[in-house]
A and B are shown apart, each in its own frame.
Chain A
Amino acid sequence: MSADEAITKVPARPRRHSRLRRKAVRSALPWVVIIAIFVLWEIVVRAFDIEQFVLPAPTAIFASGWEWRAEMLDNAWQTLMTTVVGFSFAVIFGLIGGVLFGSSTLVYDGFYPALVGFNSIPKAAIIPILVIWFGSGTVPAVVTAFLISFFPILVNVAAGIATVEPELKDVLRALGAKQWQIVQKVGLPRSMPYFFASLKVAITFAFVGSIVAETMAANKGIGNLMLVASSRFEVPLAFAGLMVTSIMGIGMYLVADFIERRTTGWATRGVDAARAPRA
């Protein structure tokens, strides 16, 4: 008994230690990579003596960002708000549309081609029209963020609902379940992993939408700030705007990722086991 314990315990302890160490290394790795990129960038800029209006060094970018921090924060807030509002509309309409498209072949057959056609229009091309309709400012940015991020959500939710296993549907139909009950009990929960996967793509798209709109027709927001900065040849400030955007993007991505892991853990943990008996 004690011999057994000794045998099982001795190799287990160092393994746990190394696993902890590996975990620490894994969580530190992204930071190491980011810092390495900045260091390399700095070295390249200094070594080749690159002009600041071509490619500013990271130190110059940080300095400029810090110098204009009040404006930066103000404009970043504006961009974040327009993006989040547009994105929220995209989530609501994407979910509703996805449920409709996924659960009704009639809706799918009728509307899908039109939707694909609409989606293939570059959203930047619509912005001038939005400006005519709404004037320049916040509204075109919100609408562009919505338009650009709505489609991937709809397609993914629809795919999740449309690909429910027929046997799963039969279980419910044999109980006399109505179509909406099947969607509620099976279709929606099953499409949640697809939904969250699409959110991660869509939130990045939403930032693209709002910033492009701000660059073209706004007097506020990170996009506008970058436009003004580059027209004044304050290239480090434009780069600082890019960095703030990317930080906001990462932040929103992490939020989506957090919600995903809290709500659809069954999908990532259960994939193998759920498929095993079917194989």
Chain B
Amino acid sequence: MAGLVAGMMVEGRCNLIRPSMNFVELNRVSVRYGEDGDGTLALEGATLTVAPGEFVAVVGPSGCGKSTLMKVVTGLWPPTAGTVTVDGREVAGPLSIVGMAFQNPTLLPWRKALDNVMLPLEIVQPHCARLRGERRAYVEKARDLLALVGLKGFEERFPWELSGGMQQRASLCRALIHDPSLLMLDEPFAALDMFTREELWVALQDVWLARRPTVILVTHDLREAVFLADRVLVMSARPGRIVAEQAINLERPRRLDATYEPHSVAIMHKLREHIGATRSGDL
């Protein structure tokens, strides 16, 4: 807790000098669902900052408002109180610089894998205007991306012809195709078996190392958080607040077995205690 407060103060001072220091900034953000103000309070005074190119994981007990956090940052849901700033501008509506992936692959069933991956290009500028003229280059890019996550040869398959893990890979490609500077991942691996999940962690790390987008990953898998993130934020039970943070100083590229080494295990234990504390505090 003390570490978090100190960190915030340092960040705060930096902001005065160089406001572009943080890519994502949430300042005392609260979200209350329902129209007349007596609905569920999903977030309360959530404050966090993410540096450009940083990989941040958010963990917490279920129903703590992690998904609400995602919606607030991407502008899909307006905060009831507080401010959200992304890339130096206050968020007022959906942002187009964001790539999103969810727990469900949410691929469009009438589009082949390649066309699903290319969907953002048909919407986001400047790609949208260029797509017609430079279609070949864009198709090439989508194919490269699919190959990067191990889907070479599956470009012309429909989603139902792919396994759950493959669909999720395609969904990740779709989140990345328009080179988003902010990648929002809402438990993207939660529905997969452990082996597929681990494979995708490695694939995601490769992509991140190659392109360095800012990533906010919501998860309830501590190993996932420790393997992937530079920093792990712990959220309290509803209404959600950031109650602790933990830097993960492991070398990149990380190896899967590194998550079983004592240093990583110790971190996971610590995170676990934080989450346990928020839950017992709630009761």
Chain A residues engaging chain B, CB cutoff 8 angstroms:
165, 167-168, 170-177, 181, 185-186, 189-190, 192, 264, 266-267, 269-274, 276-278
The reply to whether the CB of B102 lies closer than 8 angstroms to some CB of chain A is: yes
- CB contacts under 8 Å to A, within B77-101, are 94-96, 98-100
Do residues B159 and A274 form an inter-chain contact, with CB atoms below 8 A? yes
> Which of chain A's residues have a CB closer than 8 A to the CB of B102?
167, 170-171
Among A167, A175, A192, A267, point to the contact of B104 (Cβ < 8 A): A167
* Closest Cβ–Cβ distance, residue B165 to chain A (whole Å): 10
Contact A266 B178 (CB under 8 A): no
A186: nearest chain-B partner, CB-CB: B108
Write the nearest CB–CB distance from A217 to chain B, whole angstroms. 44
Interchain CA distance A53-B129 in the complex, whole Å: 70
Name which residue of chain B comes closest to A274, CB basis: B109
Which one of A174, A192, A267, A278 lies within 8 Å of B184 (CB-CB)?
Answer: A174
Q: Which of B8-29 contact A (CB under 8 A)?
A: none
Knowing A175-B96, A175-B98, say if A167 contacts B159 (CB, 8 Å). Answer: no
Residues of B within 8 A of A172 (CB): 119, 123
- Asked whether any CB of chain A lies closer than 8 Å to the CB of B201, the reply is no
A177 CA / B124 CA spacing, docked (Å): 8
Identity of the chain B residue whose Cβ is nearest the Cβ of A170 in the assembled complex? B76
The residues of B that contact A177 with a CB separation of less than 8 Å are: 94, 123
Total B residues in contact with A, Cβ cutoff 8 Å: 32
Contact: B108 with A189, CB < 8 Å?
Answer: yes
Interface centre among B99, B120, B160, B161, by most chain A C-beta atoms within 10 angstroms, is: B160
A278 to B123, CA, bound (A): 26
Asked if B160 and A278 sit within 8 Å, CB to CB, the answer is no
Contact B108 A174 (CB under 8 A): no
B96 near A277 (CB under 8 angstroms)?
Answer: no
Known: A273-B160, A277-B164. A175 touches B123 (CB 8 A): yes
Is the pair B105, A176 in contact by a Cβ cutoff of 8 Å?
no
> Are A170 and B104 closer than 8 Å at their CB atoms?
no
| Residue in A170, A175, A186, A274 whose CB lies within 8 Å of B120 | A175
In the complex, B199 has a CB within 8 A of chain A: no
Question: Which residues of B pack against A, CB within 8 Å?
Answer: 71, 74-76, 94-96, 98-100, 102, 104-106, 108-110, 119-120, 122-124, 158-161, 164, 167, 174, 178, 184, 191
- Give chain A's interface secondary structure class: helix
CB distance from A188 to the nearest CB of B (A): 10
Partner of A270, one of B104, B123, B159, B184: B159
In angstroms, Cα B109 to Cα A168, docked, is 11
Closest residue of chain A to B95 (Cβ to Cβ) is A176
Given known A173-B94, A174-B94, A176-B123, contact A167–B106 (CB-CB < 8 A): yes
Report Cα–Cα, A272/B105, bound state, in Å. Answer: 15
Residues on A with C-beta less than 8 A from B95 are 174, 176
Whether A189 lies near B184 (C-beta < 8 A) is no
The answer to whether A189 and B160 have CB atoms under 8 Å apart is no
The 30 listed contacts between A and B (C-beta, < 8 Å) are A170-B76, A170-B100, A171-B119, A172-B119, A172-B123, A173-B76, A174-B74, A174-B75, A174-B76, A174-B98, A174-B184, A175-B96, A175-B123, A175-B178, A176-B124, A177-B94, A185-B108, A185-B119, A185-B122, A185-B123, A186-B108, A189-B108, A266-B109, A267-B109, A267-B110, A270-B158, A273-B159, A274-B159, A277-B167, A277-B191
In this complex, what residue of A is CB-closest to B191? A277
CB of A270 within 8 A of CB of B160, answer yes
